[in-house]
Amino acid sequence: MRYNVKHLQIYLFFLCLPAFFSCQQAQRPDVSGIDVNIKVERFDRDMLALSTKKPEEADAALRQKYTNFYTDYTQRIVGNGRYSGPEILSLLYNDQAYTDLNHDADSVFKSFAPIEADLSQTFRYIKYYYPKIKVPRFIAFISGFEVQTPIGDNYMGIGMDMFLGKDSRFYKAIVKNVPMYLSRRFTPDYVVPRLAETFIREDMFPERDEDNTLLAKMIHNGKALYFMDQVLAENVPDSVKIGYTTKQLGWCRAYEDKIWAYFMENELLFNTDYQKIQVYLTEGPFTPGLGEKNQSAPKLGVWVGWQIVRKYMEENPKVTLPELMQDHDAEKILRASGYRPK
C-alpha cells in the first residue's frame, strides 16, 4: 500500500492573469470518446451525518464505504496510529475547531460539479496518452491542515481545508507552519491543477534516485510541468501550474537569460550536492543569490527546466508525449532543445 500523507505536499502551482497563459499549447487531441466521468465523494458530509451514532457504528459505516482511505485517514492523516477509529471520531465530533472548519469548507464547496467536469477532462487527456492508467476515486475530506492532496491505494484525497481561499480566517492562525507565500494559493481554483500534478509526480512519474544532478532534476520537473501543459484546460495560466505570482512570472521572463547565465557561470548543472542545488528546486519566497531586494522568483531550476523541455518539444515535433516522459537523458534533451535564452 502506498501512502503520501506523512507530510504536507507542496508543489502548489497556481494563479495569474490571461496575459501569462501558456503559448506552448499544440493542437489538442479529441478525447470526447474517452469514458471518464469523475464524481467527488464527500467523506466530510458522510462523517458528519454519522455524528449522532455511536462512534463504533460510525467507524464501521465509514470503514465499509471508504476502505483504504478511511484507514489512512484515522491512522495517518488526522491520527498517528495511537488511537482507534472510534476514538478518533469521538475526538473530532467533540472538537469545536473541527466543527468550525467543517462549516467553512462546506460553505466554500457547496458543489463539486465544476471541479468534477474539469477533473474528468484532465483524466480523459491522461488516458488518451496512457490508456491503461486507472482513474482513482476522489474523496473530499477535512484534515486539520495536515495534507492537501494525499494519494493512496486506489484513491486521491482533496483536503478541502487547504483550498478555502487565501483570506480564510484559519490561515493566519497557522502561518508559522504554512507561510503566507504558500497559503495565498490555497483557493478552489487550485484543486484540479494540484490533483493533476500530484498524480503526475507521485503516481505516474516519480523522481528516480539516479537523477541526482541539478540538470536531471530540472528536466524531470520540466517534464512534469510540460505534461500539465498537455492535460490541463487550455485556459489554466502558467502561474497556476508553477505557483508564481504575476510579478514573479514576469521577473523570470525578463531575466531568463541572466538566470541561465548564472547557472552556467557557477557550474551548477552537473552539481550533485543536494544542499547546494535544492535551493533552486524547492518552495520559498524567492531564490537566494539571484535578483535584487529578494525580488526573484523561487525554484528557478524548476522554471528553467520547464522552458528547456518546451523548447525541446518545439524543436522536435515528432517526439510524442510518452516518448518525452520515458526519455531520462537530460543532457540529450538540453542539447536537442537548442535552449539559449537571449
* 158 DSSP assignment: E
The count of domains in the chain is 2
Residue with cell 494540484: 194
What is the CA angle 249-315-221, rounded to 5?
Answer: 45
Domain assignment present for 253? yes
Domain assignment present for 7? no
Same domain, 43 and 167: yes
pLDDT at 58 over 80: yes
Spatial strand order of the sheet with 151-152 comes to 40-42, 137-141, 155-159, 151-152
Instruction: Read off the C-alpha cell for 48.
Output: 458528519
Same domain, 181 and 239: no
Among 154, 174, 204, give the residue marking a domain's end: 204
H-type alpha helices, the chain = 43-49, 55-72, 85-93, 96-108, 113-129, 180-183, 191-198, 214-231, 238-242, 246-254, 256-265, 274-277, 300-315, 321-326, 330-337
Among 204, 239, 269, give the residue marking a domain's end: 204
Domain assignment present for 6? no
- 295 lies in which domain range? 214-337
Instruction: Read off the C-alpha cell for 66.
Output: 471508504
Among 204, 233, 267, give the residue marking a domain's end: 204
Domain assignment present for 12? no
**DSSP one-letter string for 269-293:** TT---HHHHGGGTS--SS-TTSSST
Average pLDDT, the chain: 90
CB-facing half-sphere around the CA of 136: CA atoms within 13 A:
24
H-type alpha helices, 199-244 = 214-231, 238-242
Same domain, 87 and 158: yes
Same domain, 192 and 72: yes
Instruction: Read off the C-alpha cell for 263.
Output: 547557472
Whole-number Cα distances in Å, 234 to 6, 16, 44, 228 = 33, 14, 31, 10
Same domain, 42 and 77: yes
Cα separation, 34 vs 36, in Å, equals 6
Same domain, 121 and 256: no
Domain assignment present for 55? yes
Q: pTM for the full model?
A: 0.89
Q: Under the phi-then-psi rule, with left for phi > 0, alpha for psi from -120 to 50, and beta for the rest, what region is 267?
A: left
Same domain, 148 and 172: yes
Cα separation, 227 vs 11, in Å, equals 15
Q: What is the pLDDT of residues 175-196, one digit of tens each?
A: 888 888 899 899 999 999 999 9
Same domain, 112 and 248: no
Same domain, 237 and 329: yes
Same domain, 225 and 333: yes
Same domain, 81 and 230: no
Same domain, 25 and 160: yes
Cα separation, 196 vs 150, in Å, equals 12
Q: What is the pLDDT of residues 190-246, one digit of tens each?
A: 999 999 999 999 999 999 999 999 999 999 999 999 999 999 999 999 998 999 999
Q: What is the pLDDT of residues 11-57, one digit of tens each?
A: 333 222 233 334 444 689 999 999 999 999 999 999 999 999 999 99
